[in-house]
Amino acid sequence: MTDQTTDDGRLGLDADQVLTTTRSVRKRLDFDRPVSRETVMDALDIALQAPTGSNRQGWQWVFVDDEAKKTELARIYAENFALYRNLPRPNYADGDPRAQAADRVVDSAQYLADNFARSPLMMIPCIEGKPETSGSSAAFWGSLLPAVWSFMLALRERGMGSAWTTLHLINGGEEMAADLLGIPFDRYSQGGLFPIAHTLGTDFRPASRLPASDLTHWNTWGNSGV
């Protein structure tokens, strides 16, 4: 795995490369290399250009590098992951790329659960309000999640990676995280828990996905237009 970076430390990827090679990184997170706050804030400045409903920009971003707090967040995540891993897996048809990747995905997810606390930095994105009292859930989460994805894209261009996880939010974990970090639980919702680190190498490739023609409908459901 080789790194190819520009003089300012960026990879110099074009838009299509960034969009098709930004992965949820788990086993290739470099837990031993420090993360620059300046680089992270630079990536966040890029992410804040994302769309947000009515231009409210009701997002807040909680970064955690305190060792004790990272350990507690990792504990909450690991306990919920253990429950999640015991749930029945989805059934896929023979040849489905999701079936072929399932064991590898579970293995890497277990690795992250076991090592989450080693992340140099963690991030919890928050959005003002609660989805159950904010009308359309699509509009509610649509005011936060595009910026989160833009943040992951910006990290990728800077030789860094993350993984989008949400398991800390269940079984009372969201409120425990709020208490731990001082997040106003009654006023803000959390959008996930993200490990942030440099990546071991930068040579990520497009993932195997179902073809767009299998997922497309034109004018009526079931009409692929082909």
Domains identified in the chain, total number:
1
Q: Which residues of the chain have pLDDT under 70?
A: 1-8, 87, 99-102, 134-135, 226
In a domain, residue 8? The reply is: no
Q: What is the pLDDT of residue 76?
A: 98
Distance CA 11, CA 3 (A): 8
Q: Does residue 84 fall inside a structural domain?
A: yes
Residue 11 lies in a domain: no
Q: What pLDDT does 104 receive? A: 74
Side-chain-side CA neighbours of residue 137 (13 Å): 4
How far, in Å, CA of 196 to CA of 63, rounded? 10
**pLDDT, position 180:** 98
Q: Assess if residue 3 is contained within a domain.
A: no
Q: Which of helix, strand or coil describes residue 19?
A: helix
Query: Residue 84's domain spans which residues?
Result: 28-88+100-202
Give domain status of residue 224, yes or no.
Answer: no
The angle formed by the CA atoms of residues 189, 194 and 195, to the nearest 5 degrees, is 155
Domain containing residue 130: CATH number:
3.40.109.10
- 216 domain-assigned: no
Question: Which pLDDT belongs to residue 158?
Answer: 97
Q: Alpha-carbon distance 13 to 5, whole Å?
A: 9
Say what the pLDDT of residue 202 is. 94
The alpha-helical segments, DSSP class H, found in the chain are 15-21, 37-47, 67-85, 97-115, 137-142, 145-157, 173-181
Burial 143-163 (b: 16+ CB within 10 A, else e): bbbebbebbbbbbbbbbbbbb
Does 80 map to a domain?
yes
Q: Which helix (H) or strand (E) holds 129?
A: none
Would residue 34 count as lying in a domain? yes
